[in-house]
Structure formats: structure tokens, C-alpha cells
Chain A
């Protein structure tokens, strides 16, 4: 009888418990230990191996829906690029991605880097997979100007690049099927075609299992899936930031869901044995 009541609990109680379990660690972090897994180290080492002045094509392929998980990944990577003095070409296949490109590249501007010499925001490209193939082959076939309307041939750092072959690293921080160019697209059109150019993918945790085969086959050189790798990356940079701060809340949310699963199963078996 009691377990039947438990199974029929008002969902609003579940929602309230979830809110409290997520909010409390955000307000008062628990400081749980966080080790660094091999896949994150792998991505970090790829960036670490680049020489100062190397060119990075970074695609901010995410919208507000995935930003909570993906923006910390993009931010951590941009911080690393800044530490290494890399030159960044920011693009996006998602219309709203332009805002995230601008916000993250502001880290470069705030550090005194010069627009057009150290970083450039080329902005949004429409056309999904075909457009990725086209820009990989010839950036100018897709971008005629940067986000401010300056013709790209008048931008200093554009003089040295024609295609993805001229890049030293390609990164896509990718929301998945909601975005125009999914993670698979970057593998198909860049990682497989331009094998000398390493590709790192950032994605939501839910997308990570789909892309693990690409990492194992070494088609991509790094995979950062979800908030945890972002937190680990911040620790590797020795610059704990928003991702580290959010990890306790994520731990609490996962633990709460686990408790719900256990309770739900106990209630299920208790009522089932009673029915028999």
C-alpha cells in the first residue's frame, strides 16, 4: 500500500527535490575530487603540441539549448589557445553560434590580442554538410567577409589561408543533430579528407557515445564530451572556471536520479510481489 503511494507520488515533489539538489551545490559547492580521464588529456596534448602562431579553425556549432554544457568546453579551449598564442578563425554552422563565437573570442580581445592578426570571427555559414565541404576546400567560397563586413582579403591573417589544409587544428564544439553541421559532418568532410589536420570535437554528454568510435579509430584526435571534460580541461590549464563550479551540481543531480531509480525499482518490485 505504502509503495503504491510512492509510485503515484505527485511529480511536483520530484521536481522540487531536483531543484533543491541542483541549487544547493551551486550556492554552496561541496568541493568533490575530480580526476582527469585519458580522453581529456589526449585533447589537451593535441593543443599543447602546437607551436605559437599555429592556425586553428574553430566552429562554435551550438545554440542556447546546449550552451550550458558546450560553452564551458569552448571557453576552456579558447583559454588554452590564448596560453599557446595560437591564431583562431572562428566560424559557426548555427545561426546563434555567432554570439558564442563573439563572446568567447572576447577572451582574446581582453588579453590584448589584435583582431585580424590574432583572431577573426568569420561568422555563420549556411548549408550544413555541403558548406563544411566547401569551406574546407576553399574558405573564400563560403566567406566573402567577416562578421563586421570587412572583405576577408583585407584581413591580415586571412592572407595565409585558403583551405583547411592551411590550418594546424580544426575544432568543432557541436550540439549534435540540432545543429546544421553535426559532429559526424566534421569527421566525414574534414577528419577523413584532410588527414594531416588534427580534429578535436566537443559535444554534449548525450552525444559522446555516438562519437567514441571516431576517437578509437583515430579519425579524430580528441573528444571532449559534456561538462566533466570541460572541468578537467580547466584543471589541466590550472584555471578552474565555470565548469569546475558546476560539477558538484551535476554530481548531485546524477545522485538524485540514481536514488529515484532505486526507489522506483523497489516500489515496482514491492507492488509486483503483492499483486502475485
Chain B
């Protein structure tokens, strides 16, 4: 029963969605619209579950003084301050924006900016023309990289056109092939889930 009901619910919802997409059936349109409108509510519940889990995990870290427990204090304190401010003064308030501008935005951008240094280092050590495939990848990557910035035009006026051609022709051809293959795979995977053949999402081990 524990497995059958979720499979039946999945099958029913999937069937309604497919009928709504492929056929003109007013009842299916109405039912699927209702189901879709539940999504934000269900996702909001996931936020509650996540919050409880976060507090429990880090609360345990602090009470048991596990390695790095003081980081859990920072996390819970930041979480509490941001949540209280957001709920009381609102997201447009200057105090809330202060946290966003000076902590979240800055830290987030810094983390992403670190990629530039890793790319710099790996460009030196890993992007090597070890075989034909690697050479093709390297040459096309370099042409696109340099053709997409103003210095490419400074080197040669043809660089942007070369970069654009690589993006438009070989890249798009490859992307299309992958998209079609992934699409077919996605459809077959969805059908397996709908008919209950694949039950990994219900915790089944296959």
C-alpha cells in the first residue's frame, strides 16, 4: 500500500498533464491548472522542512561540540538575524539590504570570482594539446574566448566573426544532438516513473 498509492498518484497526475498537453480537454486543463498551482505551496513546505533540519543539525553540532562547532553558531546566528529582519522590517528595509549588499552579495560574488584563479591555474597545467581531440577543443576554445572580448577585435577584425561561427555552427550542431538525445532519454525516464517501473523517488533500491 505504501508503494501503490504514491505510484497511483504519480500516474494520475502524469496522465492528466499529458492529456492536457496533447488533447483539447477542458476538464484536464482545469485539473492540471489546479495541480500546478499547488507547487508553490508544496515547495514552501520544503523550506520549513529544510529550516527545521538546518537548526537540528547545527544545534547538535553545538551541543556536542563537534569539529568546527563555532561555525554552526555563526550560521545559526546569521540565519536568525536575517530571518527576523526579513519577517519584521521586510525585504526592502535598509537594514535587510545592508546584510544583502555587504555580506551575501559580497561573499557570493567572491566565491564565483575565485573561479577565475582556478581557470588561470588549470589553463597553465591542464589545457594541453595531448591528442587530436584535445587540440581541436583547445583551438576552438581559445578562438571563442578571445573572439568574445574587445581585445580579439584589436588583434584581428575577423576574430568576433570566427568566434560567432564556432558558436553558431559546430556548437549548435553538437548542442542540438545532445538536446535531442537528452529529450528522448528524459521521455523514456518519465514514462518509467509514470507507470511505476522506476520507483527510486519512493526510496526503492533497484
Contact = CB atoms under 8 A, between A and B. Distances in A.
Partners in one complex: yes
What band does the interface of chain A fall in when counting residues whose beta carbon is under 8 Å from B?
A: 35 or more
A142 B154 contact: no
B136 interface: no
Interface stretch (A10-18, A50-58, A151-159): A10-18
Given A147-B92, A247-B150, A17 B120 contact: yes
Given A15-B120, A32-B153, A64-B108, A258 B146 contact: yes
Q: Is the interface of B mostly helix, strand, loop or mixed?
A: helix
A85 interface: no
Interface string A105-125: 000000000000000000101
Contact of B128 (A37, A98, A264): A264
Contact of A257 (B100, B123, B129, B171): B123
Interface in B152-185: 152-154, 160, 164, 167-168, 171-172, 175-176, 179
Contact of B36 (A137, A213, A250, A268): A137
B109 A67 contact: yes
B124 interface: yes
Interface in B102-126: 104-109, 111-113, 116-117, 119-121, 123-126
Interface stretch (A73-81, A126-134, A166-174, A194-202): A126-134
A212 B124 contact: no
Interface in A179-212: 205, 208-210, 212
A19 to B, nearest CB: 8
Interface in A29-79: 32-35, 37-39, 63-68
B109 A65 contact: yes
Given A9-B124, A264-B124, A134 B151 contact: no
B149 A134 contact: no
A137 B128 CA distance: 50
Contacts of B46: 126
Given A14-B121, A226-B148, A251-B149, A96 B100 contact: yes
B44 interface: yes
Given A264-B123, A265-B128, A15 B117 contact: yes
Contacts of A228: 148-149
Contact of B142 (A68, A133, A148, A261): A261
A183 to B, nearest CB: 12
B171 A260 contact: no
A184 B128 CA distance: 32
Nearest to B91: A98
B123 A212 contact: no
A210 B175 contact: yes
Interface residues of B, number: 57
Given A127-B42, A138-B37, A254-B151, A261 B172 contact: no
B56 interface: no
A134 to B, nearest CB: 4
Given A127-B43, A261-B127, A264-B125, A256 B105 contact: no
A255 B146 contact: yes
Interface in B34-48: 36-37, 39-40, 42-44, 46-47
A64 to B, nearest CB: 3
B97 interface: yes
Interface string B24-64: 00000000010011011011101100000000000000000
A261 B135 CA distance: 12
Shortest beta-carbon contacts, A-B, top 5: A64-B108, A127-B39, A32-B150, A141-B37, A126-B43
Given A127-B40, A251-B152, A258-B145, 14 more contacts: A11-B121, A34-B153, A37-B164, A67-B105, A99-B91, A134-B39, A134-B40, A137-B33, A137-B36, A213-B179, A251-B154, A257-B145, A261-B127, A268-B130
28 contacts: A15-B117, A15-B121, A18-B120, A33-B154, A37-B164, A64-B107, A65-B108, A96-B104, A99-B91, A99-B100, A126-B40, A126-B44, A126-B46, A127-B43, A131-B39, A131-B43, A134-B33, A138-B33, A147-B91, A251-B150, A251-B152, A251-B154, A254-B146, A254-B148, A254-B151, A258-B142, A264-B123, A264-B127
